[in-house]
Amino acid sequence: MKAPGSPKNPTLSSNVSLNISIIASVLIASRLPSRQYVFAIMLFSLQVFLFAPLVMYCIKRYSFRLHLCCSLGLVCLTLALVYKLQGFLFGLLLGLLVFITFICPYWLIRIHKYKFEINGPWDEAKLCFNITE
């Protein structure tokens, strides 16, 4: 496991994603009315996009259970804040999380039995029946 933004071997995708997030924060900050708001949004974006991945990496190296608790806590905090914002968005976000986390993997496991030739999870499916019939 490599630390995010490791100085020995940085990846291009990590640098590009960090630069894009900072550019997006600058564009949002350019629309704000005062310097204090700009400073606050830039400081917050640096904390979220630069320091949070490093902190989560250190927590994961220290204890995987603590990492799971922190991740679950962030999900619960996000859902609570969205619920305060609007109930419909809360239901939509919760449904989307359940769908992506539980239903989609279940579907993939269920359709695995329709593969005709199984060499591994990486090969493309060759169905044992004709779809056009």
In terms of Cα–Cα distance, which of 103, 102, 127 is closest to 113? 127
Distances (CA, A) of 10 to 19, 39, 53, 70, 106: 13, 28, 14, 26, 35
pLDDT in tens, the chain (133 residues): 555 555 565 565 667 888 888 899 999 999 999 999 999 999 999 888 888 888 888 999 999 999 999 999 998 998 899 999 998 999 999 999 999 999 999 998 888 777 666 666 666 666 666 767 6
Entry pTM: 0.59
Residue the block writes with tokens 């279940």? 106
